A and B are shown apart, each in its own frame.
Chain A
């Protein structure tokens, strides 16, 4: 439907060639939120996790080493910028590209950790993310094939939805569910969060949730059941 019934009135557009970014209060708020969190990640240090030691009363401190800190911070900032881009983009393919990038970088953020169960969980999540990239891009391709456009502003002005567009949205939904780790894929993703490095695992969770909320807006733009 009309974009202004979803996110509030359109505040403006930023045309970058044929990829147009549009801003409604909803998109702007999510964009600003993603950027603020990215800035927080860039300037925070990591926490020290305290664990109990078996066989004595001492504490075990689990820290993030310097090399690991630098690479994980870089990947976390990239993930934050990708999330911010996914929030205001007006182009469907751009959105799916950002989501795929988020999926890849999420694996990267935890793969520098040296805990076996976390690496196992990241591996399983990575498998699902790779499998999900097929329906993700396939859905975007089907939207292009059935409507001739990838621009969300143009898609919102179309009169009706063809069955192929319904199928494409279903594929998109499956792709996003796999990449971001919604139910039932959240179980392995949750295990990835048991590692130290709180600012970096923030962006893993934040990117997933913000992408899901934006995906609802996009799916409601594409589908017009009435």
Chain B
């Protein structure tokens, strides 16, 4: 199968599976709250619905920046699919993409002119401070395996066993990172309901569907990277089971925790980072 077909297939799988996992999370959260909840394909149906609704672009928006930012989100997560499952390139690139995602959250909010978007924009800057665990995870993985290239990390784990058992605190920190990207999570300050929908408030119709596609791909890619880097070479079944387990776990956590206020959200994530960094250094020195 040639390269373009591989890329297209992976993007399609990422979109579909990401949407189904989001729908599953909503279902689980609903059942914990003792109500039936929407069907599992609801997120997918919403995405398709938004594509046929009437869209309006706010008069006050910064054009063409406003539409270009939504396109950038899709472009960066398509390149994440290329870096991950297709080419298995450098992990640093993947985290550069994660940083660009923060940028898009920031500017999707401020480019529309709405006060809710502006609030979400400033909160996105705050939440970028919680990337300290991200850098710590990168450095710890590098110190353990001498490489950042995903294919080499996979072969390292095939020889030495999963990284989950050798650097467990890095896995915990990465999981906190994944949690912050889940819907209704305690760290989801940029999309909290106190600011309507945060940076998505003024994205109607086409742009909202577009953002939802990119977020589904993003969720799939975050889970894929976690499973690949911490569990090693897995088959298709392994990935499916792993992604299901992670989505169910995040759904349970999201259903039982409130959304923290922005300062508390940052401080909790930074505290996890410090515990993770110093714990990992101690573990490395001890063993």
Contacts and interface: CB of A to CB of B under 8 A. Distances in A.
A199 B65 contact: yes
A167 interface: no
A78 B61 CA distance: 24
B42 interface: no
A8 interface: yes
A110 B160 CA distance: 51
A115 B68 CA distance: 28
Interface stretch (B12-20, B112-120, B176-184): B112-120
A193 B125 contact: yes
A2 to B, nearest CB: 9
Interface stretch (B47-55, B96-104, B227-235, B239-247): B96-104
B65 A40 contact: yes
A44 B113 CA distance: 14
Contacts, number: 153
Contact of B125 (A40, A48, A184, A186): A186
Contacts of A49: 60, 113, 115, 118
A46 interface: yes
Contacts of B106: 193, 202, 205
Interface string B78-122: 010001000001101101100110110011001111110010011
A209 B76 CA distance: 15
What range describes how many residues of A lie at the interface? 35 or more
B255 interface: no
Given A47-B61, A193-B122, A201 B110 contact: yes
Interface in B146-176: 146-149, 152
Interface in A113-137: none
A213 B95 contact: yes
A213 B152 CA distance: 21
B135 interface: yes
Contacts of A217: 92
A7 B90 contact: yes
Contacts of B83: 25
Given A25-B90, A26-B96, A47 B112 contact: yes
Given A5-B148, A26-B90, A210-B96, A216 B135 contact: yes
A183 interface: yes
Contact of B90 (A24, A47, A190): A24
A5 B148 CA distance: 6
Contact of B135 (A30, A50, A212): A212
B248 to A, nearest CB: 31
Contact of B65 (A24, A44, A50, A226): A44
B129 interface: yes
A202 B103 CA distance: 7
Contact of A212 (B65, B99, B121): B99
Interface in A1-45: 1, 4-8, 24-26, 29-30, 33, 36-37, 40-41, 43-45
A186 B65 contact: no
B8 interface: no
B93 A7 contact: yes
A7 B138 CA distance: 12
Contacts of B103: 37, 202, 205-206, 209
A220 interface: yes
A40 B68 contact: yes
Given A182-B132, A186-B125, A213-B96, A6 B148 contact: yes
30 contacts: A5-B148, A5-B152, A7-B90, A26-B89, A26-B92, A29-B79, A29-B93, A30-B96, A33-B96, A37-B72, A44-B68, A45-B65, A47-B62, A47-B112, A48-B59, A48-B113, A183-B266, A189-B125, A191-B122, A198-B65, A199-B62, A199-B107, A202-B107, A205-B125, A206-B103, A210-B96, A210-B99, A212-B131, A213-B92, A226-B146
Shortest 4 CB-CB contacts between residues of A and residues of B: A44-B65, A47-B62, A48-B60, A209-B99
Interface of B: 59-66, 68, 72, 76, 79, 83, 89-90, 92-93, 95-96, 99-100, 102-103, 106-107, 110-115, 118, 121-122, 125-126, 128-129, 131-132, 135, 138-139, 142-143, 146-149, 152, 266, 270
